[in-house]
Amino acid sequence: MKRSALPRRAAVGMLAATMAIAPFMVAVPQAGADETHQCAQVKIKPGRGVGELTMDTSRNYAPGEVVTVKGSGFEQRPAEGGSIAFKIDDNQNQWPVDQPDARFDKLDAPHTDISIPAESMLSADGSFEVQVKLPENLKDGKHVIRALTGNDGGSSNSVPVVFTVNSGANDGHCETLVEGNQDQAGEEAQTPEGESQDGATTETPAEPEKPAESEKPAEPEQPSETEKPSETEKPAESEGAQDGSEDQASSSDASASASDAQNNDRGQTVTVNVSLEGFTPGSTVRATVNGQAVLWGSGRNASADPITIGEDGALNTAVTLPKGSAPAGENTIVFTANDDKTAEAKVTTSAGVQASSTSANAETTVTVYNLPDGAKVTAVGAKGKNYYTGSGVNADNHVAVVEGVKLPKDAPVGAALEATFSHNGANHTVAGPKITADNSPVAADSYSSISTQLPAGLYQSAANTDTNELFVTRAVGRPPIKESTLYKLDATTLEAKQEANASAIDPNNPDAGVHAVYGVGLDNQRGLVWATNTRTGSVAVYKQSDLSLVKQFPAGIVDHARDVVVDEQTGKAYVSSPTGNGIIAEVSADGTVRNIELGGDFGGTMSLAFDQASRSLFTVSLSQPKAAKVDVASGDVTVIDLPANDVDRGSGVAWDPSRGNLYVASQGSSNVVVYNLEQKKVVAEVPTGAGALNAAYDPVHDRVYVTNRGGGTVTVLDAEDFQIVANLPAGGNTNHTSLGANGVVYTVQKSSTTNDKGEPTNTVYRFALNEPAPAQPGETDKPGESEQPGESDKPGETDKPGESEQPGQGEDTQTPGEGAQEPGDGAQEPGQGEDGEPSTPQPPAEDGVFKPGRIVSFLFSAVSSLFSMNWVFQLTVAFGVPSWISKWLPRW
């Protein structure tokens, strides 16, 4: 297309004018220009799940400094292989090798995550303390350390703590703290803005919490009224404030301040950051709140023993206020030294909210804790609606338990569950965990299903429709991994036909472990299985016929290799890297590796979808609201910007070539966004379930299958109108769905159950729609595959949907930690169909290959193209010919 010369002429004119007046211009310094360039640019995402992470955030840290990080309220990890991983700046920086805590898994090179076995660090009450060395190259400004769980078969959580680094002047540049300025220190938040009180959202049936650490529209503001004072108290600050108010009172020159009050749901305690100054060096100090002893520190290391003041007479640390000791309102912490120096600090606390279930269309028990004496819970709801029909529950010892709260089917997914209590004649509303998607089955009886159990540790599957075989990967534990298996199953009966163990890293050293297999892709033209070795950053190739190893690539060729797909025309494999920086690796059988770069700001790549006909490769970013299309023949890369409010922690992709629609499933927002590449806009956004992790398009029945890891379901969408036509229970921690012959789908779940021998197992499901596949030209209609050999198991009998966990998942199927999150915040309201906004799904059209709705699309496209030669392609797309012609003509 010929470009107009006007823009170029305009540019030349502007340049000439600038040169003409340049001698008369006066340069005016622009504040912050250099500073912005030199400051840390870290996008801090909210947390998900349960638990709290703290460190001393009242001071700046230096690059390379060893810091102490404390956790509390974390769930216990599985007895076998349980672990907690830590990331720095969400993959934007790497931990140095020389970590001071010997419990961390040893690093051979700098890495984005480090892990510790849970048995060596996590106490019975869910607390821990670790020391980590910061990277030497951290820029000044805000950074984040994130604790991740879920890759061990247990619940998935993502818990951050934000801190500042300063290697320069103490002047507040780059949002660093001006040390000694207690007002500023008191305003620093421990967790990213928008998170719940404990720094994470509860995900139920597994998580989603929002992530679900996602993403979503800001939570509605909570009514915040001034607490009426008791006879001995001053008026409280607004209810629900989490940063706490700061005040100082002292005797002599001693002073204290308190900030950042955080509710800890697990113990119903409150953690507060405190700063002491002017005390005698070496003196010991005790603390009380409302007459009860305050614990120094947090988690299992919290102690009532007095703490020693440093040589500078100052102390910055966290304290734990025991359950019920600091009810909602203003409270005073009194610090007393052994030389009788005292200081007081006031802090505002709020009530906390817990729920046994946060799923829409479910009954839940809501616990409101840290209530003031005389408080009464009168309502539980969301967005101004009350779901509690009782007469109210009075607080008993600062806790009110409200039973029988029914969350309606249309409860606003992603909105905070709110509890309202009355006290001294005023009403106060506090926010709790976010409401997650309805996990109820939908049209499950329209599918026939069978399932089989395999040893625990399953990840992905891939089917060869010609040989009727299904390949499944398995890996157990954390490095060095000793147990990993590649299975070959009968794709109809799910009976195991063969298995092979992953190759040893060092045949002469069994303790080095194996190249464990995680992702799987098939080259059916050459009879090969490609598998990713996520933990060793490599790939391996096996024969489909006997599972013998063809080639083991060296470790470290692809950082945290996740998904793999194969271009059967060239035999090259494409591998995603969740911890890489916008990289897809192209791996050739001869050992050549070439990186396809999507751009430095793209972030880690997750799922892959490959269209063999056009040789187009699609992926999605884990950390940014972006997707990408790669033409592997030409090397052209197209980066697609997606709406940040609707895409949080994108993980899965599916491609519908007949319409040009790209489906992006996101763990954090627990939804699917549909982007049309021709129209260059989002055409639909559909909440599917907690922790949407994976997606697959079935051209036979024109349906899209979305794997909801946290929800334990597979949501089925009609690809024509994006309506949900089924929701299939598939056990807890549903991890991956792949396609088989005639529209059959296979789903792998990771929630651990046991077999008859008491051994831990995971489940593989096979779902077949109970209606014939559309007849193809030249053949007689066949009954499809609705009847399966053997006994038909109802999905979900083995595992209850909703158990939380995520394979490092969460964040990515194999990546340590950030896993399933919260239901799709940002669900659109009816009527949002104009001005480029996502349209609301319309009632389903009649089934069939030919759908009238495509006539309008064709006419519009034909007219807009002025009947160019492109009309043939548009006619094909409009009437769905590719959905049958690709099966009628021989493959090439």
Whether 345 is in a domain gets the answer yes
Whether 682 is in a domain gets the answer yes
Please indicate, yes or no, whether residues 343 and 426 belong to a single structural domain of this protein. Answer: no
Residues 6+ apart with CB under 8 A from 455: 474, 476, 485, 759, 760, 761, 762
Whether 788 is in a domain gets the answer no
Tokens 């992702």, located at residue? 519
Average pLDDT for 442-460? 96
Q: With bands split at pLDDT 50, 70 and 90, how would you rate the model's confidence at 776?
A: low
Number of domains making up the chain? 5
Sign of the Cα pseudo-torsion (664, 668, 671, 675, in order): negative
Neighbours of 41 (CB within 10 A): 14
Tokens 């000044």, located at residue? 140
Tell which residue, 130, 182, 136, 189, has the closest CA to residue 163: 189
Domain that holds residue 341: 249-349
Q: How far apart are CA 278 and CA 250, in angstroms?
A: 10
Neighbours of 614 (CB within 10 A): 13
Average pLDDT for 728-743? 93
Buried b (16+ CB within 10 A) or exposed e, 234-264: eebbebbbbbbbbbbebeeebbbbbbbbbbb
Contact between 879 and 724 (Cβ < 8 Å)? no
Contact between 706 and 694 (Cβ < 8 Å)? yes
Q: How far apart are CA 681 and CA 659, in angstroms?
A: 13
Give me the pLDDT at residue 847, please. Answer: 41
Whether 831 is in a domain gets the answer no
Beta-bridge partner residues of 160: 146
Q: With bands split at pLDDT 50, 70 and 90, how would you rate the model's confidence at 187?
A: very low
359 against 292, higher pLDDT: 292
Q: How far apart are CA 263 and CA 22, in angstroms?
A: 59
Residue 613 carries which side chain, given as an amino acid letter? A
Please indicate, yes or no, whether residues 281 and 408 belong to a single structural domain of this protein. Answer: no
Q: How far apart are CA 296 and CA 54, in angstroms?
A: 13
Show which of 310, 332, 349 is a domain's final residue: 349
Percent share of the chain, pLDDT over 90: 53
Tokens 């199927």, located at residue? 813
pLDDT in tens, 815-846: 333 333 333 333 333 233 333 333 333 333 33
Whether 616 is in a domain gets the answer yes
Contact between 644 and 206 (Cβ < 8 Å)? no
Please indicate, yes or no, whether residues 464 and 578 belong to a single structural domain of this protein. Answer: yes
Give me the pLDDT at residue 863, please. Answer: 47
Quick one: the chain helix, strand, coil %, rounded to 5? 10, 40, 50
Residue 872 scores a pLDDT above 60: no
Contact between 323 and 371 (Cβ < 8 Å)? no
Please indicate, yes or no, whether residues 344 and 356 belong to a single structural domain of this protein. Answer: no
Q: With bands split at pLDDT 50, 70 and 90, how would you rate the model's confidence at 646?
A: very high
Contact between 462 and 738 (Cβ < 8 Å)? yes
Please indicate, yes or no, whether residues 299 and 365 belong to a single structural domain of this protein. Answer: no
Please indicate, yes or no, whether residues 621 and 496 belong to a single structural domain of this protein. Answer: yes
Contact between 63 and 165 (Cβ < 8 Å)? yes
Give me the pLDDT at residue 379, please. Answer: 96
For residue 257 the two structure tokens come to: 């301040």
Average pLDDT for 765-774? 87
Q: With bands split at pLDDT 50, 70 and 90, how would you rate the model's confidence at 877?
A: very low
Q: With bands split at pLDDT 50, 70 and 90, how would you rate the model's confidence at 890?
A: very low
Whole-angstrom distance between the N-terminal and C-terminal Cα of the chain? 32
Whether 276 is in a domain gets the answer yes
Is the pTM here over 0.85, yes or no? no
Residue 694 scores a pLDDT above 60: yes
Helix (H) or strand (E) holding 549: strand 549-552
Least confident of 204-218, 294-308, 334-348: 204-218
Please indicate, yes or no, whether residues 516 and 638 belong to a single structural domain of this protein. Answer: yes
Please indicate, yes or no, whether residues 345 and 356 belong to a single structural domain of this protein. Answer: no
Please indicate, yes or no, whether residues 296 and 359 belong to a single structural domain of this protein. Answer: no
Buried b (16+ CB within 10 A) or exposed e, 761-786: bbbbbbbbbeeebbebeeeeeeebbb
Instruction: State the CATH number of the domain containing residue 763.
Output: 2.130.10.10
Quick one: how far is CA 500 from the chain centroid? 32
Please indicate, yes or no, whether residues 172 and 304 belong to a single structural domain of this protein. Answer: no
Neighbours of 306 (CB within 10 A): 15
Residue 36 carries which side chain, given as an amino acid letter? T
CA distance to 477, 824, 840, per residue, from 117 (Å)? 10, 32, 46
Whether 159 is in a domain gets the answer yes
Instruction: State the CATH number of the domain containing residue 115.
Output: 2.60.40.1930
Show which of 143, 162, 187 is a domain's final residue: 187
Show which of 413, 434, 455 is a domain's final residue: 434
Tell which residue, 286, 258, 257, 292, has the closest CA to residue 272: 258
Give me the pLDDT at residue 90, please. Answer: 84
Whether 331 is in a domain gets the answer yes
Tell which residue, 192, 130, 131, 135, has the closest CA to residue 167: 135
Average pLDDT for 529-547? 97
Please indicate, yes or no, whether residues 274 and 163 belong to a single structural domain of this protein. Answer: no
- Tell me which range, 217-226, 340-349, 750-759, 835-844, is most confidently predicted by mean pLDDT: 340-349
Please indicate, yes or no, whether residues 562 and 605 belong to a single structural domain of this protein. Answer: yes
